[in-house]
Amino acid sequence: MACQRVPAALLGALLAATQALLFGVASASTAVDPPESKSNWSYAGETGPAHWAELDAEYTVCGSGQRQSPIDLKGATTKAIANIDFHYSKVPLSLSNNGHRVQVPVPPGSHMTLDGQRYDLQQLYFHTPSEHRVDGKLSDGELHLVHKHADGSLAVVGVLLETGSANPALAPIISAAPEKNSGPVNTGKHIDVNALLPRQRTSYRYVGSLTTPPCTEGVKWTVMSEPIELSSAQLDRLTMATGKNNRPVQPRNGRPLLKDSTP
């Protein structure tokens, strides 16, 4: 019986599928977000933070890791640390809500210099209430600015949100914040990422993890010690879009925690 020739197009497709199986795990290891197809985790009940490690083999470190985030920022060692050099620019405002948080992607260009290394800003998103505590106290919310080094390692800047005066820099983001499992929403507007930072640039520094599955460790955390304000109406609108989406604080396990002493 004569063998049938396999079309070249089919061979190419089979080769691509094989490569995806071989290398897919490696490429996912440097991803900022867990794969969107894996939405089996939540912030409550049987799929909440206490059970993340049980939901998928890729989430094991959520339960076994020794350098997890967030933490309670207390008992820090005060030290003069060089401030981060932020090189942010105005970016187009596009938003999405993946069911876990409201997030804003950032196109290439904006970056920061941390410990002499460049980290490019990838995206920003929100948690309500805050994930990090300061001396046991939660803030009303927390903004995360996620950065990636050329080698794939991550650095996150956390900005605590406290109720007070209305924040014009946050206004376009919050007013356009989509409902859960929605997006992307292209607003046609731009935001000034610099305006989302507090005036005083002192911070806490430690090494931790992503605060959502797969809870990847080795993340350099910088949490600004001065919060920024938003109005109660802005907080209500943000909470309506995000829900309660903060992971409980994790054991510090003896990790160094520094607090900058210089403005």
Q: Which of 126-140, 169-183, 213-227 has the lowest mean pLDDT?
A: 169-183
Q: Which of 19-28, 60-69, 195-204, 213-222 has the lowest mean pLDDT?
A: 19-28
Predicted pLDDT at 121: 98
If one compares 179 and 14, the residue with the highest pLDDT of the two is 179
Predicted pLDDT at 180: 82
Reply yes or no on whether the pLDDT at 21 is more than 70. no
Predicted pLDDT at 11: 37
**71-260 fold:** Carbonic Anhydrase II (3.10.200)
Predicted pLDDT at 190: 96
Percent of the chain exceeding pLDDT 90 equals 79
Predicted pLDDT at 39: 63
Q: pLDDT tens digit string along 78-90? A: 999 988 999 999 9
Predicted pLDDT at 34: 43
DSSP string computed for the chain: -PPPPPPHHHHHHHHHHHHHHHHHHHHHTT-SS--TT-----SSGGGSGGGHHHH-GGGTHHHH-SS-S--EE-SPEEE--PPPEEE--EEEEEEEE-SS-EEEE--TT-EEEETTEEEEEEEEEEESS-SSEETTEE-SEEEEEEEE-TTS-EEEEEEEEEESS--TTTHHHHHTPPPSSEEEEEEEEEEEGGGGS-SS--EEEEEEE-SSTT--EEEEEEEESS-EEE-HHHHHHHHHHH-S--PPP---TT---EEE---
Query: How many CB atoms neighbour CB 1 within 10 A?
Result: 3
Predicted pLDDT at 254: 96
pLDDT (average), residues 119-127: 98
Predicted pLDDT at 188: 94
Reply yes or no on whether the pLDDT at 231 is more than 70. yes
Sequence spans of domains, the chain:
71-260
